[in-house]
A and B are shown apart, each in its own frame.
Chain A
Amino acid sequence: MKEELVCSEVIINNSLGLHARPAAILAKEASKYKSDIKIIMDKTEVDAKSILDILTLAAPKGKSIKLIAKGEDAKEAIKNIKSLIEEGFGEL
């Protein structure tokens, strides 16, 4: 398997932003992949597998964040995490 670097931008869609529940869902999803996954917002970079890290971003609705994954399953990871965020974590 070759290592890939995949990058994508997405806008937070659910009404309260990345609060505890969405952060938990996101971290859980990210933890499924072998790849190293980061979230970048306003020059702050955090680990997508850590709910604590995600919460400290305090990402509100409408904010654009960047997802970066590095590893063999990077493509799949970004695709699935992106759609989770776009679907508003089932809160819409």
Chain B
Amino acid sequence: MAKKILQGIPVSVGVAIGHAYILTRDHFCLAPIQNISEELVEQEIKRLEDAFELTISNLKELKAKIPEEQTEYSSIIDTQIMMLQDPKLKHAITKYIKDMKLNAEWAVEKGIGDIEKTFNGIEDEFFKTRISEFKLLSRKVIGNLIGAGEELKPIKSRVILVAHELTPADTVELDVSKIMAFVTAQGGKTSHVSIVARTLGIPAIVGIEDVENQILDDEFIIVDGFTGRILIEPEEEEIYEYTERQISFEQYKRELFQQSGLPGKTKDGFHVKVMANIELFEEVSSALDYAAEGIGLYRTEYSYLYRSRLPGEDELYEEYRDLVSIMSPKPVVIRTLDAGGDKIGKGFEKLEEANPAMGLRAIRFCLKFKKIFKTQLKAILRAAEAGNALLMFPMISGLEELRDAKRVLEEAKNELEKEGKSYKRDIPVGIMIELPSAVLVAEDLAKEVDFFSIGTNDLIQYSLGIDRTNKYVSHLFQPLHPAIIKSIKHTVDVAKRAGIYVSMCGEMAGDPFCIPLLIGMGVDILSTTPHSVPGVKRVIRMLSKKECEDLLNKILQNSSVKENNRIVKEKVFDKIPEELTFYTSFFDN
């Protein structure tokens, strides 16, 4: 037996065997606090100045590593350097060394505290929050005073990354090609780390409390992305067993890949198109590699994050045009901005919402800040000329919101007309069905759009009132809850009656236990992460529409989640036993 076994939530399949790399980015170092004697004042000031110099040269080194095209990022560093060079900042700190005889570390904290007070007096929330940049810098300076740098230690060989939490910013900074697997304390199946892991096709386990302290740096571990188990210091037999498993999984993946060109047609000839969800332009290559029949969801948020300014129309146009023309004649569904001020930054974070998930985000944000919205719409309209693009609005709750969004779309068209730019006038327009209210008024909505796309992650979250990243309630995130099955069924039925097509782009679309139910309902398109496309197609090929309908009817008669889970597990396992060995699902293992 291994020295220790940890159990977490598996969020991306696969096996990784190797050394742990503990990411300790935010661990706070306690600054020593002490008084100094008069004669040490000069020396202490010199120490402070050296720490400032060192911090500045650290920043310059970091800046040198940034690729030239990321000018936004390097200008942030320039600003930080300017702040450190500001005599006022240094004076605010040195006066504590001179007058109060504090040591340098303490003086930094006191000095920054004073500056914070000044900033707190500012009424404008945007400027008020700038204090965080000074605090960040002060941490770097204190780190250098103590002699503990804040930098991420370089990853030398391929490792298993262990962290408390992994943010989008971390993944930008890390060399992902050297990471074999992710293990985090925070997160759920649909959090950032899970999506990244599935996109990279590497295993990931989340939800292990205090994992960053339970595993030691460089310890030899096995990550089992099928069951969520982590084996610390495994025995030789265990290493052997998992190596076998790793090899057979690789073989299965190769086989799948070879068959990826085959369509997702059921045994009785019902064709379900399988497309890819992507969020980075670069992922288009994996969508093509895995033979996706189109981009079922292009998340456009990335162009708005980590920038010091909002992207312009031409910049967005070029990005969308390239994507649309590469995929042409296959369709690309471009979803308009689905984020709130908290993600976009650039002054919008001052909106300070207690509950951003139910706040000013997605279509609501766009309708409030119409200029941002229109810029994006114009870029999409122009890019649509390059191939087969479709436009999709997120988070539509009812008819007025849809009409308001379409009105802005018309304005965007008129502006393009006036500017004499060419664009696609009759671009198909669809909406995400992800709010329970949209399900209930789907009939009205269907009359005014060309397609529906069901976003199950949010639909489940909003219908069941579950924050899926909250580990205390994440087990209640139940896709087979009768309310969810009925909501999806209703949406699909409405779309069929209205003669518009319906796709599904949430996690359910890639879950082998859910796919039979979706086929039974008659969903036209399943859109999932690029690397699951071949697997989803293969599952479809192993089923018949008839048996899927039978299963669905059985489920529809039930009112218990447990019962639904049991039936689906049993039936699906009968049909595709070997497939399920290599899948994670919403179901507990």
Binding site for B on A (CB under 8 A): 16-17, 19-21, 23-24, 27-28, 47, 49-53, 55-56, 58, 60, 91
Contact = CB atoms under 8 A, between A and B. Distances in A.
B122 A58 contact: yes
Interface stretch (B36-44, B78-86, B498-506): B78-86
A76 B404 CA distance: 51
Interface in B125-156: 126-128, 130, 133-134
Nearest to B128: A58
A49 B118 CA distance: 18
B123 A58 contact: yes
A16 B83 CA distance: 19
Given A24-B82, A24-B83, 6 more contacts: A19-B127, A19-B347, A47-B88, A51-B86, A56-B118, A60-B124
B347 A20 contact: no
B126 A16 contact: yes
* From A17, A52, A53, residue with most partner B Cβ within 10 Å: A52
A24 B130 CA distance: 13
A51 B89 CA distance: 9
B86 A21 contact: no
A51 B82 contact: yes
Nearest to B309: A91
Contacts of A91: 309
14 contacts: A17-B124, A20-B130, A20-B133, A21-B79, A24-B82, A50-B87, A50-B88, A52-B86, A52-B88, A52-B134, A53-B88, A58-B123, A58-B127, A60-B124
Contacts of A24: 78-79, 82-83
Interface string B307-325: 0110000000000000000
Interface in B74-99: 75-76, 78-79, 82-83, 86-89, 92
Contacts of B304: none
- Residue of A47, A58, A91 contacting most chain B CB atoms (<10 Å): A58
The interface residues of chain A, by DSSP majority, are classed as helix
Contacts of B115: 52
A24 B79 CA distance: 5
A51 B122 contact: no
A77 B186 CA distance: 52
Contacts of B79: 20-21, 23-24, 51
A55 B118 CA distance: 10
A26 to B, nearest CB: 10
Given A16-B346, A50-B88, A91-B309, A58 B124 contact: yes
B82 A27 contact: yes
Contacts of B86: 27, 50-52
A4 B347 CA distance: 38
A25 to B, nearest CB: 9
B119 A56 contact: yes
Please provide the 6 A-B residue pairs with the shortest distance between their CB atoms, ordered closest to farther.
A58-B127, A24-B82, A24-B79, A50-B88, A58-B122, A52-B88
Contacts of A51: 79, 82-83, 86
Contacts of A52: 83, 86, 88-89, 92, 115, 134
Interface string B64-78: 000000000001101
A92 B88 CA distance: 30
Nearest to B125: A58
Nearest to B89: A52
Nearest to A91: B309
A13 to B, nearest CB: 14
Chain A CB within 10 A, most for which of B76, B83, B87, B127: B127
A50 B133 CA distance: 15
Given A20-B79, A21-B75, A55 B346 contact: no
B341 to A, nearest CB: 13
Nearest to A22: B79
Instruction: Identify the interface centre among A21, A49, A55: most chain B CB within 10 Å of its CB.
Output: A55
A24 B76 CA distance: 10
Counting chain B CB atoms within 10 Å of each CB, which of A21, A49, A53 scores highest?
Answer: A21
A23 to B, nearest CB: 8
Nearest to A28: B82
Contacts of A60: 124
Nearest to B118: A56
Interface string B214-230: 00000000000000000
A23 B122 CA distance: 16
Nearest to B87: A50
A19 B119 contact: no
Contacts of B346: 16
Nearest to B131: A55
B141 to A, nearest CB: 14
A22 to B, nearest CB: 9
Contacts of B78: 24
B126 A19 contact: yes
B122 to A, nearest CB: 5
B130 A55 contact: yes
Contacts of B119: 55-56
A55 B127 contact: yes
A51 B80 CA distance: 10
Contacts of B124: 17, 58, 60
Looking at A24, A49, A53, A60, the one whose CB has the most chain B CB atoms below 10 A away is A24
B219 to A, nearest CB: 41
A16 B347 contact: yes
Contacts of B122: 56, 58
